[in-house]
Structure 1
Amino acid sequence: MRQILLLSLIALHLNAEPLTLESALSKAREHYPLHKNKDLLQKAQDLELVKLNMSYIPRLKLGAKATYQSDVTTLPFSSQTLNNLSGGNLNYKPLSKDQYNANIEISQPLFDAGNLWANRSLTKAKYSTQQAELESALYSVQNSVINAYFAALLLERQINQSEIHAKELGKNLATLKARYANGVANKSDIDKLKIEILQTQNTLANLTNEREIALSTLKELVGLEQDIELVTPRQSLDSLQSLEVKSASFESRPEMRVFTQRANEITMSKNAETARFLPYIDAFFQAGYGNPALNILKSGFNSYYIAGIRLNWDFGNLYSLHQQSELRRMQILQNDAKKEEFLLNMRISLKSQIKRANNLQDKISKDTQIITLQENLTKSAQAKLQNGVLSVNDFLSEINALNTLKLQNNYDEIELLKQIYEIYQSLNQWQNPQNQ
């Protein structure tokens, strides 16, 4: 049964899909629900531009009205006098106070003082800002991927070390059992080792459960269902030398593009507002039927038409010119303040990341020497235990100290890798991995 379980685990490992961190970051961006909005935003922008372009196609309007007036235009003569003067040839009737009119008008814009261009530019600027904000949101997902990836990677390291520790304890337990059979060891010594092995097995079970949780989280983020095998990156602090860390401007960060696009959007809104203050010219043709028509001296229903060019200039927008200017000025100041806040936080964060990475590298270098010395002490303690000149408690003290050092070293090594990738993330300057 044990062999079958072992073979099953090996088969699962062989069928697992290798997953690098760079691949995980790319998959997570494509899998994240917000990624669908990229195409939707582009389609929405195209529709908005088509709608704006329609402002230059001929416009058709239909109008009708029926009114009753308190007075109408009249001649300073009575209708009887006019008829007498004309010898009865003029049949003049005063206008009726109830009047009717229906008309249809077609117009063609000729000049809009750049209003269409300004609105098109403003629309593009708005959607560019939304696209930049979307890219920023997608970029922030990478933080979650980095955390989940290295959490799972660390747990795998800790599991491997705990398995090695349990194996070493098992070897020494077998030695103690043989010595106990020969009457040169105590039963209590065997029990102490068994307790230590059971505790290690409990630790292994907890680590395994935590790894499954971390892997499950990672697979959810990247959109994978099959088993995955994490690939340990081979990056070091030396890989950061080519990056402009000390003089970092963070221009590659998507947030910086958001600030730039917002500033451009504010500028485009100013141009659009200015265009609304300028005149508008169009050509038009109007045909109608009414009582009266254009000849107000002729009572009764008649048809008519009007054709020409007209100018419209609305000065009402000038009333809010100052307020609009102040509003844009405050928007620019707010955008600049947010940009300065972002840069300040990023500089503080980057310095902390670099300092922590350097400290971890120094610690790992020293811990490697300490581990080598502790391995020598553990080997000596193991030999003494086998020869019966060292107590089990003293041996456990040495082997547990070695296990603790290796567990801590695993944590430091993975944490260093994580810090390196967080620096990449902070700068948005990614190196080509050496192992991928």
Structure 2
Amino acid sequence: MRQILILALVALHLNAEPLTLESALIKAREHYPLHKNKDLLQKAQDLELVKLNMSYIPRLKLGAKATYQSDVTTLPFSSQTLNNLSGGNLNYKPLSKDQYNANIEISQPLFDAGNLWANRSLTKAKYSTQQAELESALYAVQTSVINAYFAALLLERQINQSEIHAKELGKNLATLQARYANGVANKSDIDKLKIEILQTQNTLANLTNEREIALSTLKELVGLEQDIELQTPRQSLDYLQSLEVESASFESRPEMRVFTLKTNEITISKNAETARFLPYIDAFFQAGYGNPALNILKSGFNSYYIAGIRLNWDFGNLYSLHQQSELRRMQILQNDAKKEEFLLNMRISLKSQIKRANNLQDKIHKDAQIIALQENLTKSAQAKLQNGVLSVNDFLSEINALNTLKLQNNYDEIELLKQIYEIYQSLNLWQNQQNQ
């Protein structure tokens, strides 16, 4: 039965998919629901540009009206006088006060003073900003992946150390049981070791459950269903040792691109606003049928047409020109203030991350010496226990101290790696690696 269980665990391990932190970050970005918006934004921009381009195709309008007027155009002669003057050949009738007209017009824009170009540029600028904001949101997901990845990695290290600790306790229990069988050990000493082993097994069970939760969270983030095998990153502080916080560049961060594109969008919107103040020229042809037609002195329904070129110039927008200019200026200042706030927060965060990473590295070096000394003490205590010259309590004190030191060392090593990758995240050094 034990062999079957071991084979099952080995098969499960072999089927696990190796997962590095870098690949986890890529998978998480592609799996995150917002990633779908990248294609949707591009399609929306294309549709918007097509709609704008249609402003230069011929336009067709259909109109109709029926009116009643309080007065109409008349000649300064009576109908009887006109008939007498014309010898009865002129049958003049005044216009009716109820009038009707229906027309159809086709027009072709000729000149829009750059309004189409400005609107196209503004549309591209708006969607570029939205794409950058989306990239910024996707980039923030990487922080969650880093936290989940190193949480699961730490739990795996702690489980391994707890298993080693339990194994060492088991070896010493077997030695004590043999000595007890020979009548040179106490039953209470055996019970104390058994209690310690049971407590270690409980710790292992809790760590295993927490690891499953951490792995489940990580798999949800990266969109994987199969078992995964985490790979320990091997990044060092070498590159970061010479990093100066004040001179650190955050230009690779997607948020910086958002600020730049937002300023560009505001500037282009100002140009689009200016284009609205300029004249618009088009050619048109209008055909209609009405009572009266173009000859307003001729009563009755008649057809007509008009063709020509016309200019429209709306000066109403000039009234708000100054206000619009001030609004754009304030929007740029607000955007600049947000950028400065972002840079300030990032410098504070980066300074803390570098200091913590350096402190952890120093602590790990010192702890290595302490662990080596404690291992010597534990080996000595183990030999004394086997020879019956050391109490179980004193032995447990030494072996538990070694276990605690190694657990803390595991935490410090993983935390150091996490700090290094958080610095990578702060500076977006992933992009630098890809460019190399």
Partners of 1:235 and 1:434 within 8 A in 2: no
| Structure 1 residue 233 corresponds to structure 2 residue 236 | no
Partners of 1:374 and 1:398 within 8 A in 2: yes
Shift of 1:323: 2.1
Shift of 1:289: 0.7
Q: 1:301 to 1:431 in 2, by over 3 A?
A: closer
Partners of 2:361 and 2:416 within 8 A in 1: yes
Shift of 1:243: 6.6
The answer to which of 245-254 and 191-200 deviates more is 245-254
Q: 1:250 to 1:432 in 2, by over 3 A?
A: closer
The answer to which of 322-331 and 277-286 deviates more is 322-331
Q: State how far apart, in whole Å, the 2-side matches of 1:283 and 1:93 are.
A: 36
Q: TM-score, normalised by structure 2?
A: 0.97
SS in 1 for 2:430: coil
Per-residue CA deviation, residues 329-382 of structure 1 (Å, 9 max, x unaligned), is 221111111111110000000000000000000000000000000000000000
Shift of 1:3: 2.3
Partners of 1:83 and 1:91 within 8 A in 2: yes
Q: State how far apart, in whole Å, the 2-side matches of 1:158 and 1:55 are.
A: 67
Partners of 1:378 and 1:395 within 8 A in 2: yes
Shift of 1:169: 0.3
Q: State how far apart, in whole Å, the 2-side matches of 1:2 and 1:263 are.
A: 67
Q: 1:264 to 1:24 in 2, by over 3 A?
A: same
1:268-417 map, 5 Å: 268-417=268-417
Q: 1:325 to 1:240 in 2, by over 3 A?
A: same
Identical pairs, percent: 96
Q: 1:433 to 1:342 in 2, by over 3 A?
A: closer
Structure 2: state its 5+ residue gaps.
Answer: none
| Structure 1 residue 7 corresponds to structure 2 residue 16 | no
Shift of 1:249: 2.2
Q: State how far apart, in whole Å, the 2-side matches of 1:261 and 1:58 are.
A: 34
SS in 2 for 1:434: helix
Q: State how far apart, in whole Å, the 1-side matches of 2:63 and 2:90 are.
A: 33
SS in 2 for 1:67: strand
Partners of 2:57 and 2:109 within 8 A in 1: yes
Per-residue CA deviation, residues 370-409 of structure 1 (Å, 9 max, x unaligned), is 0000000000000011111111000000000000000000
Q: State how far apart, in whole Å, the 2-side matches of 1:243 and 1:402 are.
A: 36
SS in 2 for 1:430: helix
The answer to which of 1-10 and 46-55 deviates more is 1-10
Per-residue CA deviation, residues 29-83 of structure 1 (Å, 9 max, x unaligned), is 0000000000000000000000000000000000111111111111111111111
Q: 1:259 to 1:431 in 2, by over 3 A?
A: closer
Partners of 2:192 and 2:392 within 8 A in 1: yes
Q: 1:70 to 1:59 in 2, by over 3 A?
A: same
Partners of 2:245 and 2:347 within 8 A in 1: no
Q: TM-score, normalised by structure 1?
A: 0.97
The answer to which of 88-97 and 34-43 deviates more is 88-97
Q: State how far apart, in whole Å, the 2-side matches of 1:297 and 1:151 are.
A: 91
Partners of 2:374 and 2:398 within 8 A in 1: yes
Shift of 1:283: 0.5
Per-residue CA deviation, residues 162-192 of structure 1 (Å, 9 max, x unaligned), is 0000000000001111111111111110000
Q: State how far apart, in whole Å, the 2-side matches of 1:262 and 1:358 are.
A: 37
Q: State how far apart, in whole Å, the 1-side matches of 2:395 and 2:411 are.
A: 24
- Over the aligned positions, Cα root-mean-square deviation in angstroms equals 1.8
Q: State how far apart, in whole Å, the 1-side matches of 2:395 and 2:324 are.
A: 80
SS in 2 for 1:431: helix
Q: 1:433 to 1:292 in 2, by over 3 A?
A: closer
Q: 1:116 to 1:434 in 2, by over 3 A?
A: closer
Structure 1 runs, 4 residues or longer, greater than 2 Å off: 239-246, 430-436
Q: 1:231 to 1:432 in 2, by over 3 A?
A: farther
Q: State how far apart, in whole Å, the 2-side matches of 1:54 and 1:400 are.
A: 78
Partners of 2:246 and 2:347 within 8 A in 1: no
Q: 1:100 to 1:143 in 2, by over 3 A?
A: same
Partners of 1:243 and 1:429 within 8 A in 2: no
SS in 1 for 2:286: strand
Q: 1:279 to 1:140 in 2, by over 3 A?
A: same
The answer to which of 311-320 and 280-289 deviates more is 311-320
Q: State how far apart, in whole Å, the 1-side matches of 2:286 and 2:322 are.
A: 38
Shift of 1:431: 8.0
